[in-house]
Chains A and B, each alone.
Chain A
Amino acid sequence: MKTVQYTITDPVGLHARPAGLFVKAAAAYESGITVKNLENGKSADAKRIMAVMALGVKQGNQIELSVEGPDEDIAAAELEAFLKEKL
């Protein structure tokens, strides 16, 4: 299993639009991906948009991705790059 931690810098946080992009990106991998908002301890399946939005991730919150599956290495690396670029 791979984990990635990232602090959201986008001023609106992980809301509808960015959450949509993120979920789309996550859905492209075979691995199971869990995203956790370290601020409130809630976690969600990264491939499910409503659950991801309900994490209430705001700017400044730290999130943790846990990636497990056949393509976990590449999924973790690419999602981390995605977060850095978009969020």
Chain B
Amino acid sequence: MEVYHGKSVLQGIAIGKLYVFQKKESAWKKHSIADADAETVRFEDARGKALSQLDELYDKALSQVGEENAMIFDVHRMMLEDQDYLDAIEARIRTEMVNAEYAVTVTGEEFSATFSSMDDEYMQARAADVLDISGRVVRILEGLDEGGLNTPEPVIVLAEDLTPSETIRMDKSKIMAFVTRQGSANSHTAILARSLNIPSLVNADIRIDASYHGKEAVVDGKDGILIVEPDHETLRQKEKEREAMQREQERLRSLIGKDNVTKDGRSILLYANMGNVEDVDKVLENDAGGIGLFRSEFLYLGREDFPTEEEQFAAYKTVVSRMEGKRVIIRTLDIGADKKADYFHLDTEENPALGYRAIRICLTRPEIFKTQLRAIYRASAFGNVAVMFPMIVSVDEIRRAKAVVEEVKAELDKENKPYGEVELGIMVETPAAALVSLELAREVEFFSIGTNDLTQYTLAIDRQNQKLEPFYDAHHPAVLSLIEMTIQNGHKAGIWVGICGELAADESLTETFLNMGLDELSVSPSYILNLRDKIRQIGS
């Protein structure tokens, strides 16, 4: 039994035989030619055939994986019509008097090198595209066929790397998983694996060798491992896990499109929490009714300087447009405490959780706050946007934040920049906010209870401190009664109330929350369907 590790593209377990996919070796050699015109014609003929192959592949991909993924073959077609590329090949044939195979290969490598030298993972992946189109022309020149998969049963495809044209030609019903030694999360193999919904590993630490061909193996996307020739016990174990995952997955997928209604007719909004713009894929995939918490600080973390208004606008706009009118609640910057970025130049604090963070930074550094609000309001022209302020403890803070909002709206009016109706709300995550929630509710249109901080502040227990674990009670009655109080006060003032902390996903509390009259639960996308399932079983 051998175990290899890779970057997992998709969860899930595949068990089957390995199929080592190796390209047919090209046999051409560089040689000189006598007639450059004839060689150019040879190249042009091959290029013509390559273009019609790409047309065919495009159509095939369109029906198999959709327009978004098929577009790559259109791009390949355009690359094969790129005048710079064609000029370079022809010049090489004519000046060096060499065969077309050589001219195409060397030119392809040259152009590919430009892309692979760029400091951008996405562009580096494009280097493979240039090699792919060059390889296609060379294979045609040589009279080689493109190999598909030659197997009667579904297999785990093991390859050094796969080009889009290779993967698209493979019979998808014969692929149960991909494992490649190269490739990235942006590679076409990864994209294809996602769209086919099969487990895959890229960047695997395995040396590809024909001897693996036909061996039994397990790909476990959950742990990111490939097990070659698993022993009996491991195999049995993985089979069990696979079955359980499949059954559970199928059951949950069947809930897509269904309501979040209990058996006795009570319904609740089920939204998703997200941070990075790409998370929207997961949000949509899991059928969330909206985004209940967009952690905007992800736009600020892991960089050297503040994100500009344009950058933020682009990110919000993307998310808001993709949600197509479903509510998107953007939490304004919640930085400080455990989330830090150097360029904010925050002081080291004795007690960061009780320190200078979130709305406290925003209200004292209005230039940061305004830039963000401008970006959010501009994005609101593209869909249904709500804003919530974190770490509120008083009415005054809300009023000050709203004053900045008014300034921003006035500026945008003056600049003739459109914006939509934006609901304003707050996070209730301090005991103070819960206790004065009736007053706060009169100032805003919704509450979202942040149970992580609310619990830590109520119990005076630092959740990062492992020593305190025995004292920590997530279901402490004090926390639950603050939650209940907040819901009641919100409803008294006529606003809706949700929960976006970890407790929202705690199925043992779902019924309690429903009984309290909660309006919304916002959880990480992967919990949505589980929670829907739970809700639909409540009541009788």
A and B part of one assembly: yes
A1 on the interface (CB 8 Å rule)?
A: no
B49-65 at interface with A (beta carbon < 8 Å): none
Cα A52 to Cα B68 in complex, Å, equals 20
Q: In terms of DSSP, what is the predominant structure of the interface of chain B?
A: helix
Cα A79 to Cα B120 in complex, Å, equals 26
Check B115–A54 contact: CB distance below 8 A. yes
Query: Number of contact residues on A: which range applies?
Result: 20 to 34
Cα A7 to Cα B375 in complex, Å, equals 14
Check A60–B314 contact: CB distance below 8 A. yes
A26: shortest Cβ distance to chain B, in Å? 11
Q: When each residue 237-258 of chain B gets 1 if its CB lies under 8 Å from chain A and 0 otherwise, what string results?
A: 0000000000000000000000
- Contact status of A56 and B123, CB under 8 A, knowing A9-B310, A17-B71, A49-B75: yes
Cα A61 to Cα B68 in complex, Å, equals 24
- A19's nearest neighbour on chain B, judged by CB, is B75
A51: shortest Cβ distance to chain B, in Å? 6
Check B84–A16 contact: CB distance below 8 A. no
Check A49–B313 contact: CB distance below 8 A. no
Cα A10 to Cα B122 in complex, Å, equals 14
Check B84–A51 contact: CB distance below 8 A. yes
Cα A6 to Cα B122 in complex, Å, equals 22
Check A50–B317 contact: CB distance below 8 A. no
Check B78–A56 contact: CB distance below 8 A. no
B302: shortest Cβ distance to chain A, in Å? 15
Check A50–B313 contact: CB distance below 8 A. no
B128: shortest Cβ distance to chain A, in Å? 11
B276-316 at interface with A (beta carbon < 8 Å): 277, 308, 310-311, 313-315
- Contact status of A48 and B82, CB under 8 A, knowing A17-B71, A20-B71, A53-B126: yes
B114 on the interface (CB 8 Å rule)?
A: yes
- A52's nearest neighbour on chain B, judged by CB, is B82
B401-442 at interface with A (beta carbon < 8 Å): none
Cα A23 to Cα B82 in complex, Å, equals 10
- Contact status of A16 and B130, CB under 8 A, knowing A11-B315, A50-B82, A50-B111: no
Query: Number of contact residues on B: which range applies?
Result: 20 to 34
Check A10–B314 contact: CB distance below 8 A. yes
Counting chain A CB atoms within 10 Å of each CB, the highest count among B78, B79, B315 belongs to B78
Task: Determine the chain A residues whose CB is within 8 A of the CB of B313 once the complex forms.
Answer: 9
A36 on the interface (CB 8 Å rule)?
A: no
B83 on the interface (CB 8 Å rule)?
A: yes
B107-150 at interface with A (beta carbon < 8 Å): 111, 114-115, 118, 120, 122-123, 126, 129-130
B371 on the interface (CB 8 Å rule)?
A: no
Task: Determine the chain B residues whose CB is within 8 A of the CB of A47 once the complex forms.
Answer: 83
* Count of A-B residue pairs with CB < 8 Å: 66
Check B314–A59 contact: CB distance below 8 A. yes
Of B78, B115, B314, which is within 8 A of A11 by CB? B314
Check B78–A15 contact: CB distance below 8 A. no
Task: Determine the chain B residues whose CB is within 8 A of the CB of A45 once the complex forms.
Answer: 83-84
A39: shortest Cβ distance to chain B, in Å? 12
Counting chain A CB atoms within 10 Å of each CB, the highest count among B79, B111, B118, B130 belongs to B79
Q: When each residue 1-31 of chain A gets 1 if its CB lies under 8 Å from chain B and 0 otherwise, what string results?
A: 0000001011111011101100110000000
Check B74–A20 contact: CB distance below 8 A. yes
Task: Determine the chain A residues whose CB is within 8 A of the CB of B68 once the complex forms.
Answer: 17
Check B314–A56 contact: CB distance below 8 A. no
Check B75–A50 contact: CB distance below 8 A. no
- Contact status of A60 and B78, CB under 8 A, knowing A51-B84, A53-B115, A54-B115: no
Counting chain B CB atoms within 10 Å of each CB, the highest count among A13, A20, A48, A53 belongs to A53
Task: Determine the chain A residues whose CB is within 8 A of the CB of B78 once the complex forms.
Answer: 20, 23-24, 49
- Contact status of A9 and B126, CB under 8 A, knowing A16-B72, A16-B75, A50-B111: no
Check A50–B85 contact: CB distance below 8 A. yes
Of B118, B130, B277, which is within 8 A of A50 by CB? B130
Cα A29 to Cα B85 in complex, Å, equals 21
Task: Determine the chain B residues whose CB is within 8 A of the CB of A17 once the complex forms.
Answer: 68, 71-72, 75
Counting chain B CB atoms within 10 Å of each CB, the highest count among A9, A23, A24, A50 belongs to A50
Task: Determine the chain A residues whose CB is within 8 A of the CB of B82 once the complex forms.
Answer: 48-51
Task: Determine the chain A residues whose CB is within 8 A of the CB of B84 once the complex forms.
Answer: 45, 48, 50-51
A49: shortest Cβ distance to chain B, in Å? 5
B452 on the interface (CB 8 Å rule)?
A: no
Task: Determine the chain A residues whose CB is within 8 A of the CB of B317 once the complex forms.
Answer: 9
Cα A37 to Cα B260 in complex, Å, equals 49
Of B74, B126, B311, which is within 8 A of A15 by CB? B126
Task: Determine the chain B residues whose CB is within 8 A of the CB of A50 once the complex forms.
Answer: 79, 82, 84-85, 111, 114, 130
- A58's nearest neighbour on chain B, judged by CB, is B120
Of B83, B85, B122, B311, which is within 8 A of A60 by CB? B311
30 residue pairs from A and B, CB less than 8 Å apart: A11-B315, A13-B122, A15-B122, A16-B72, A16-B75, A16-B126, A16-B129, A17-B68, A17-B72, A19-B75, A23-B78, A24-B78, A45-B83, A47-B83, A48-B82, A48-B83, A48-B84, A49-B78, A50-B85, A50-B114, A51-B82, A51-B84, A53-B115, A53-B123, A53-B126, A54-B118, A56-B123, A58-B120, A59-B311, A60-B311
Chain B residues within CB distance 8 Å of chain A: 68, 71-72, 74-75, 78-79, 82-85, 111, 114-115, 118, 120, 122-123, 126, 129-130, 277, 308, 310-311, 313-315, 317-318
Identify 4 new A-B residue pairs, CB closer than 8 A, beyond the known A16-B71, A23-B78, A60-B314. Answer: A9-B317, A11-B277, A17-B71, A49-B78
Across the A-B interface, give the 4 residue pairs with the lowest CB-CB distance, nearest first: A9-B314, A20-B75, A49-B78, A60-B311
